[in-house]
Amino acid sequence: MTVCAKCGQPVEFRFMDGRPIPLHFEGGCSGSQGATGGERVRKSDESSCIRTKCPKCSDAVFFIRHNGGKVWIDPPLGPPWYRHGCMDMAGQSASSGPGQRTSIVDAGLIDELGEREGIITGVVKISEISEDRRRTLLTIEVGEADDLVILVKGGADSFVGKIVIVDGPKRLIFCANERRFAFSIPNTLSVPKAFIDAGIDLPEPLGSSKARKLRSSIEPSLPGELTDKQRQLLVKYKSQGGGGKWKLPSLLQLIAILKGNEKDEAAHLAAVMILEKAEKHGDCSHAAELAKLLSPARRENLRAWFARFSPISVDISRKQHKAHFFKSAKGERKSFDLPAARRTPFYKLASR
Domain borders along the chain are 37-220, 223-348
How high is the pLDDT of residue 149?
93
**The pLDDT of residue 5:** 44
Q: Which pLDDT tens digit goes with each residue over 282-327?
A: 999 899 999 988 888 888 899 999 999 999 998 877 666 788 898 7
> Does residue 22 contact residue 13 with C-beta atoms inside 8 Å?
yes
Residue 343 is predicted with a pLDDT of 92
What is the β-pairing status of strands 172-175 and 163-167?
A: antiparallel
What is the longest distance spanned by two Cα atoms in the chain?
84
For the beta carbon of residue 344, count every other beta carbon within 10 angstroms.
15
pLDDT value of residue 222: 44
| pLDDT number for residue 107 | 67
State residue 322's pLDDT score.
84
- The pLDDT of residue 318: 64
Query: In this structure, is the dihedral angle defined by the CA atoms of residues 300, 306, 309 and 311, taken in order, positive or negative?
Result: negative
Nearest-angstrom CA–CA distance, 52 and 62: 6
Consecutive 10-residue averages of pLDDT for the chain (352 residues): 48 55 50 44 83 88 83 84 72 47 72 74 88 85 90 88 89 81 89 89 85 68 60 78 78 87 90 94 91 86 92 79 81 89 88 48
Question: What is the per-residue pLDDT for 24?
Answer: 53
- pLDDT number for residue 333: 83
